[in-house]
């Protein structure tokens, strides 16, 4: 969908969207349109008990011979208005209008009592509408025409529309990163496997990202026995992809040149291996590469908006299959760090992939911090449901930055505990550690496992996104399906704290 911006003007016809704040106070454009319609908006608001609260709307179909439809949306209290609220309003506008005409005009006015300018409001509203407009429909060959969205363009009018357009330009690049992640997570596993996902990463080269792909031969030389063990039962070769974005001029000092790093679990399909999963729900395991998908989408967003930061994204890509050469429970593997792991459950495989990817990233790049993302455990869904990702950290400052960014963009996290007692559950009689810690606290012991591959000097956050990478219901800016959770969150962390001035 195309989002455009223009200076204020009341359209003569078509589909029009106006706003109101809590208490039913109409915006200036809404008042002008209401007068033109002989008070129809006011009457409809009264009949529908519309109070202008966030999430409320009034919908007039063909109110006269000129307008096809008029939609009035509530923005809530002026003093509480923030970016996120406008984005959610934009998402609701798209959801309401997607099945209607090809184009619509949204009239955005300055509102007394808010710190946001009309241009800020317009840009964020357009961003929310764009995020909600995503569809993964490439394999729907017989979808009825009436079910397809027809809204192709949204014109948002406001004072200083050039400023809105400029602000939206960066947001649009972030949306492109979110969409890339959603696309990757949604692809079926016969289409998306380690080599084809690595090829998708190569598309970032046109944005200026340096992309390096390691095959099994290269990883074997590096000693990545933990990662390679996971994929050895599959006919598809495991891969590791390294994506580097250089956004800091070489004239800047060494500290500015030090990159930030993101690492993702990329299990393109997870059968559980020899520790085979139950068949019910196994189809969901196509998105067990969700962490890698976020890292790839984030790198696209950072490069697309030309973020003033050096960033590296590393994804370990494997397919976990049973087979004659598959890893067995009780196998012992040697990780790149030199630490040995007794594999007691081959379905606890993501942590093995991340162990080598994390060690490689720290050793090669010595980053300012590492954030890893993984659809790692069902246990985190039991603990937090589908509302928040579990966050584990060895650094309070970084953890707080991630938490605050999550609150700002509605990609929520909740910090979970780490500790010696949990760590001891991973001790093995046969190797340096085992890959599971028992029935209880499964997400915590998984994080403790990862922590064993984090160097003391590296600030680190682990995000267990198993409950938030996919959604079976739509939210204001997120349609059901692959959510792209994590791209906006981590882009916000970088933008707020790590870009050079």
Shared-domain flag, residues 127 and 233 = no
Shared-domain flag, residues 407 and 481 = yes
- Residue 166 maps to a domain: no
Shared-domain flag, residues 343 and 412 = yes
Residues 360 and 423: beta-carbon distance below 8 Å:
no
DSSP 15-34: EEEEEEETTTEE-HHHHHHH
- Residue 99 maps to a domain: yes
Print the SS3 string covering 111-157.
Answer: CCCCCCCHHHHHHHHHHHHHHHCCCCCCCCCCCCHHHCCCCCEEEEE
Shared-domain flag, residues 64 and 177 = no
Cα dihedral 84, 87, 91, 96 sign:
positive
- Quote the tokens at residue 484: 């792209």
- Residue 165 maps to a domain: no
Strands annotated E in 200-359: 210-214, 239-246, 260-270, 310-320, 331-334, 340-343
pLDDT band at 42 (very low <50, low <70, confident <90, very high): very high
pLDDT of residue 359: 99
Residues 7 and 24: beta-carbon distance below 8 Å:
no
- Residue 164 maps to a domain: no
Please write the tens of the pLDDT for every residue from 61-77. 998 889 999 999 999 99
- Report the length, in residues, of the chain: 501
Per-residue b or e along 258-283, where b marks 16 or more CB atoms closer than 10 Å to that residue's CB: bbbbbbbbbbbbbbbbbbeeeeeeee
d(CA 165, CA 100): 25
Shared-domain flag, residues 97 and 210 = no
Shared-domain flag, residues 296 and 420 = yes
Q: What are phi and psi of 77, to 5 degrees?
A: -75, 135
Mean of per-residue pLDDT scores for the chain: 97
Please write the tens of the pLDDT for every residue from 131-182. 999 999 999 999 998 889 999 999 999 999 999 999 999 999 999 999 999 9
Q: How many helices (H) and strands (E) does the chain have?
A: 16, 20
- Quote the tokens at residue 24: 């039913």
pLDDT of residue 146: 84
d(CA 254, CA 189): 42
Domain count of the chain?
A: 2
- Quote the tokens at residue 173: 């690049």
CB atoms within 10 A of CB 286: 22
What distances in angstroms separate CA 234 from CA 187, 194, 270, one per listed residue?
A: 19, 10, 11
pLDDT of residue 397: 98
pLDDT band at 501 (very low <50, low <70, confident <90, very high): confident
**159, 182, 215: which is the final residue of a domain?**
159
Please write the tens of the pLDDT for every residue from 82-136. 999 999 999 999 999 999 888 999 999 999 999 999 999 999 999 999 999 999 9
Mapped onto helix, strand or coil, the DSSP state of residue 449 is helix
**99, 134, 159: which is the final residue of a domain?**
159
pLDDT of residue 276: 98
pLDDT of residue 145: 85
CATH of the domain at 107: 3.40.220.10
2-6 and 57-61: which strand pairing?
unpaired
End-to-end CA distance of the chain: give it in Å, rounded.
33
Residue numbers annotated as active site: 277, 351
Mapped onto helix, strand or coil, the DSSP state of residue 311 is strand
Please write the tens of the pLDDT for every residue from 320-378. 999 999 999 999 999 999 999 999 999 999 999 999 999 999 999 999 999 999 999 99
Contacts of 28 (CB under 8 A, 6+ apart): 109
Shared-domain flag, residues 25 and 146 = yes
Taking the model in full, what pTM does it have?
0.98
CATH of the domain at 319: 3.40.630.10
d(CA 330, CA 344): 5
- Residue 345 maps to a domain: yes
pLDDT of residue 70: 96
pLDDT of residue 192: 98
The pLDDT of 236-247, averaged and rounded, is: 98
413-415 and 239-246: which strand pairing?
unpaired
**132, 159, 186: which is the final residue of a domain?**
159
Q: In what order do the strands lie in the sheet with 413-415?
A: 210-214, 239-246, 310-320, 260-270, 370-374, 460-464, 389-393, 413-415
| DSSP conformation class of 469 | S
- Residue 31 maps to a domain: yes
CB atoms within 10 A of CB 192: 25
- Residue 168 maps to a domain: no
Please write the tens of the pLDDT for every residue from 255-285. 999 999 999 999 999 999 999 999 999 999 9
Contacts of 1 (CB under 8 A, 6+ apart): 94, 129, 130, 133, 151, 152, 153, 154
- Residue 167 maps to a domain: no
Shared-domain flag, residues 235 and 374 = yes
Structural domain range at position 336: 173-497
Shared-domain flag, residues 128 and 271 = no
- Quote the tokens at residue 419: 């500790």
pLDDT of residue 381: 98
Please write the tens of the pLDDT for every residue from 208-238. 999 999 999 999 999 999 999 999 999 999 9
Return the percentage of the chain with pLDDT > 70, whole number. 100
- Quote the tokens at residue 154: 């949204």
Shared-domain flag, residues 41 and 178 = no
Please write the tens of the pLDDT for every residue from 465-483. 999 999 999 999 999 999 9
Q: Where does residue 160 fall: left (phi above 0), alpha (psi -120 to 50 degrees), or beta otherwise?
A: left
pLDDT of residue 366: 98
Shared-domain flag, residues 251 and 317 = yes
Shared-domain flag, residues 265 and 137 = no
DSSP 55-124: T-EEEEES-SSSEEEEEEEE---GGG--HHHHHHHHHHHHHHHTTS-SEEEEE----TT-SS-HHHHHHH
Please check the confidence at residue 15 and state whether its pLDDT lies above 90. yes
């Amino acid at each position: 969908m195309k989002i455009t911006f223009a200076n204020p003007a009341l359209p003569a016809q078509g589909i029009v969207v106006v706003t109101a704040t809590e208490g039913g106070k109409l915006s200036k454009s809404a008042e002008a349109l209401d007068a033109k319609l002989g008070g129809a908006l006011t009457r409809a608001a009264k009949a529908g008990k519309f109070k202008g609260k966030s999430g409320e709307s009034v919908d007039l179909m063909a109110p006269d011979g000129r307008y096809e439809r008029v939609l009035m949306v509530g923005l809530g209290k002026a003093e509480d208005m923030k970016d996120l609220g406008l984005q959610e309003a934009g998402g609701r506008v798209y959801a309401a209008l997607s099945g209607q005409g090809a184009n619509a005009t949204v009239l955005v006015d300055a509102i007394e009592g808010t710190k946001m300018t009309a241009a800020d409001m317009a840009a964020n509203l357009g961003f929310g509408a764009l995020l909600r407009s995503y569809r993964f429909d490439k394999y729907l060959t017989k979808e009825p025409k009436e079910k397809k969205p027809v809204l192709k363009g949204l014109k948002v009018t406001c004072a200083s529309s050039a400023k809105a357009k400029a602000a939206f330009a960066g947001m649009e690049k972030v949306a492109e990163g979110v969409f890339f992640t959603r696309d990757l997570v949604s692809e079926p596993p016969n289409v998306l496997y380690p080599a084809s996902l690595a090829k998708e990463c190569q598309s970032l080269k046109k944005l200026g990202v340096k992309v390096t792909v390691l095959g099994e031969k290269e990883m074997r030389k590096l000693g990545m026995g933990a990662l390679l063990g996971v994929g050895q039962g599959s006919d598809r070769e495991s891969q590791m992809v390294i994506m580097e974005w250089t956004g800091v001029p070489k004239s800047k000092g060494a500290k500015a040149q030090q990159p930030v790093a993101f690492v993702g679990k990329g299990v393109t399909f997870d059968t559980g291996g020899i520790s085979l999963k139950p068949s019910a729900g196994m189809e969901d395991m196509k998105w067990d590469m969700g962490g890698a998908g976020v890292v790839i989408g984030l790198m696209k967003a950072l490069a697309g908006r030309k973020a003033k930061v050096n960033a590296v994204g590393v994804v370990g890509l494997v397919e976990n299959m049973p087979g004659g050469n598959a890893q067995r429970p009780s196998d012992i593997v040697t990780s790149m760090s030199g630490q040995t792991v007794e594999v007691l459950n081959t379905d606890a495989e993501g942590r093995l992939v991340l162990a080598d990817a994390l060690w490689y990233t720290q050793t090669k790049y010595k980053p300012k911090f590492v954030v890893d993302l993984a659809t790692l455990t069902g246990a985190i869904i039991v603990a937090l449901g589908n509302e928040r990702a579990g966050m584990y950290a060895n650094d309070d400052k970084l953890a707080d930055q991630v938490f605050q960014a999550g609150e700002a963009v509605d990609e929520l996290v909740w910090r979970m505990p780490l500790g010696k007692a949990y760590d001891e559950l991973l001790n093995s009689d046969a190797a340096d550690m085992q890959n599971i810690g028992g029935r209880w606290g499964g997400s915590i012991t998984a994080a403790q496992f990862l922590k064993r591959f984090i160097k003391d000097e590296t600030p680190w956050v682990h995000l267990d996104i198993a409950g938030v990478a996919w959604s079976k219901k739509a939210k204001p800016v997120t349609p059901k399906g692959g959510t792209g959770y994590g791209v906006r969150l981590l882009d916000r962390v970088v933008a707020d704290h790590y870009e050079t001035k």
